Amino acid sequence: MKKIQDNLHYFEISKNHQEKLLDDFYVFDEKHPDLNKYIKNTKEIKNILITIRTLRSKKEKPTVVDKYFLELSKIIGKYSNCSEFACFVNACDNIIGEAKKEINLLKKITERYFAKRILNEMSPEEWVQAILDTNSSRKKGKCGENKLVHILEKQGFKEVFDWDNFFKTNYCVVKFSKKFNLKNVRKNLDVKIKTKKQNKRLDLIIKVKNKILLCEAKHLNTSGGGQDKQISELIEILGLTEKNNVSFISFLDGKYSNILLGDNGYGDKVTTQRKEIKKFLNSNPNNYWVNTVGFENLILDLK
């Protein structure tokens, strides 16, 4: 193990090495593997909608039209959320699953769709893929954890999945999970983890011989209400204290990390966040605030 430096050392390394503009761990630029299924289902929905519109224009009996509403309900499913109709359902303050189950709701939304939108037979691949691309942020939930595990594995750490292996392995990492839930972590590691949110679980537990590092990882590209809450959570983690062999790591990457680690600018809110981070780093020397390069250097020195 190299001589571990104080937490401000790794904070300064993080400040001097900004995050990449594009990080492959958060990029999903391949075509969706089920793209053709989404396109097929989108076409099926359109065909039925065109049939319903045609039958209504010809004053067909309601019982006949209702059969096609039932057909519409049946084909709405797993691959429907990229159709223009499904997007319109969202615009009508509903979700596609509810419209599928409630025929009267489906009818009312369809009437609005005919009145407010253009219905044509085209379902270009690029349109459907574009909608899938806009939903790609939902895939990012565990990317930060996976990225840090990847960095740790490159330094010889082993990802383990049960307590026996955790205790007998000198250099390992685990993700919080059902086995490594908050109750078990508190009991087996004799820690408090006293966050304001009582059942708040973190992301990773890193073990370096007899030293434990509890890590919370976040990826932020923009500021705003939800993002401010996540920064507050990271700052709170930085303020936690345990016995001497237990440390907390607040990890932040993404474009907002570059803003936060800057020396000035971006308004009073960011200035306050910077001051709070510095305050807790000074008062809790066992804890760390790092970005990607800062984390890599910390792990290298711990190893």
What pLDDT score was predicted for residue 265? 76
Q: Read off the pLDDT of residues 81-90 as tens digits, 9 standing for 90 and up.
A: 999 999 999 9
Q: Is 252 exposed, middle or buried, given 0-12, 13-18 or 19+ CB atoms closer than 10 A?
A: buried
d(CA 173, CA 270): 32
Confidence category of residue 284, pLDDT binned at 50, 70, 90: very high
For residue 224, the model assigns a pLDDT of 61
Domains of the chain: 7-26+140-302 (3.40.1350), 35-78+84-122 (no CATH)
Q: What pLDDT band is residue 200 in, cutting at 50, 70 and 90? A: confident
Query: What is the value of pTM for the model shown?
Result: 0.84
Q: Is the pLDDT of residue 268 over 80?
A: yes
The more confident residue out of 236 and 122 is 236
Q: What is the percent of the chain with per-residue pLDDT over 90, rounded to a whole number?
A: 84
Residue 250's pLDDT band (cuts 50, 70, 90)? very high
Q: Would the pLDDT of 266 be above 80?
A: no
What integer is the mean pLDDT of 100-111? 96
Task: Give per-residue pLDDT as tens, 229-248.
Answer: 899 999 999 999 998 799 99
pLDDT surpassing 80 at residue 225 = no
DSSP code string of 213-269: EEEEEEE-SS-SHHHHHHHHHHHHHHT----TTEEEEEEEESHHHHHHTSSS-SHHH
Q: Does residue 6 have a pLDDT over 90? A: yes
Read off the pLDDT band of 286 (50, 70, 90).
Answer: very high
Four-CA torsion 227, 229, 235, 240, nearest 10 degrees = -140
Q: What's the whole-number average pLDDT of the chain?
A: 93
Q: What percent of the chain has pLDDT over 70?
A: 98
pLDDT at 74 over 70: yes
Give the pLDDT band of residue 267 (cuts 50, 70, 90): confident
3-state SS assignment for residue 288: strand
Whole-number CA gyration radius for the chain: 26
Given a cut of 80, whether residue 270 has pLDDT beyond it is yes
- On the question of pLDDT at 1 being above 70, the answer is no
- 210 — pLDDT class (breaks 50, 70, 90): very high
Q: How many CB atoms lie within 10 A of CB 81?
A: 20
